[in-house]
Amino acid sequence: MTVGVLALQGDFREHIAMLIEIGVNAVEVRTPEELDVVDALVIPGGESTTIGRLATIYGLIEPIRVRCDSGMPVLGTCAGMIFLASSTTEGEQPQLGVLDARVRRNAFGRQVDSFEADIEVSGFDSPMHAVFIRAPWMEKIGSDVEVLAEVTDRQGDTHPVLVRQGRILATSFHPELVGDTRLHEMLVALIDEA
Ligand code: GLN
């Protein structure tokens, strides 16, 4: 079993380390050929416009889309979530469009508004410590998208920050920065299911 981490930009090394920790063969993915041999894909946090532009240049957009459509498990964190989604409230940027959601980039504010919180995740028996760094949230999600965790903003409104649609998992926060391997384990469990 091999899990790829899209390694164009962002914190892909942290994801590789998490996967190694849970005993998975983890490889960096930068080309369609490298994508071909993985059983699942992690799309890291970083800058979604940069990841999208580089994925376009490397000819990866269509191949990733095709793999997602054929049921490959995917975990996208933060910028990775934005890249998976169908649209952003900020307008056009390269996106895979495989996750039926409209996302708001930098939804919680600027860099100084980055924060950490313990959040309840449905199906987990203890909270996840979640790090939000210029994080997005989901504004509008399709009926196939299941919300696994949400947060309440300063106005008291709740927003999805962890969702699942089929074998696609997407989070606003960074599990790879706090050493909580549960979402990576969930991704690996989805390979067995596939
Ligand atoms: N703000 C970034 C974006 O819009 C995401 C930040 C992150 O991945 N931590 O792409």
Query: Quick one: which atom of ligand 1 is closest to the CA of 48?
Result: 10
Of 59-63, 152-156, 181-185, least confident by mean pLDDT is: 152-156
Report the residue among 48, 53, 88 best suited for mutation to probe ligand 1: largest number of ligand atoms under 8 A from its CB. Answer: 48
Domain of 106, in residue numbers: 2-193
- The rounded mean pLDDT for the chain is 96
Backbone angles phi, psi at 119, to 5 degrees: -120, 145
Q: What is the pLDDT of residue 114?
A: 87
Give the helix/strand (H/E) hosting 36.
Answer: helix 32-36
User: What is this structure's pTM?
Assistant: 0.97
Q: What is the token pair recorded at 114?
A: 């980055």
Whether residue 61 has pLDDT greater than 90 = yes
Residue 57: pLDDT band (50, 70, 90) is: very high
Q: Which one of 133, 171, 172 would you pick to mutate in the ligand 1 pocket, going by the greatest count of ligand atoms within 8 A of its CB?
A: 133
Number of structural domains, the chain? 1
pLDDT at 161: 97
Q: Are the CB atoms for 13 and 46 separated by under 8 Å?
A: no
> What's 161's domain CATH number?
3.40.50.880
Q: How much is the pLDDT for 52?
A: 98
pLDDT band per the 50, 70, 90 thresholds, residue 190? very high
How far, in Å, from the CA of 29 to the mean position of ligand 1?
20
Taking CA 187 as the corner, what is the angle to CA 127 and CA 13, rounded to the nearest 5 degrees?
A: 90
Residues 46, 68: Cα–Cα separation, whole Å: 21
Say how many Å lie between the CA of residue 166 and the centre of ligand 1.
24
Q: Is the CB of 15 under 6 A from ligand 1?
A: no
Segments of 54-186 assigned E as strands: 74-77, 85-88, 99-104, 115-119, 128-132, 137-141, 146-152, 158-165, 168-171
Q: Which residues contact 16 (CB under 8 A, 6 or more apart)?
A: 5, 26, 28
Task: Report how far ligand 1's centroid is from the alpha carbon of 107 (Å).
Answer: 10
Kindly give the distance from the C-alpha atom of residue 129 to the centroid of ligand 1, in angstroms, as a whole number. Answer: 18
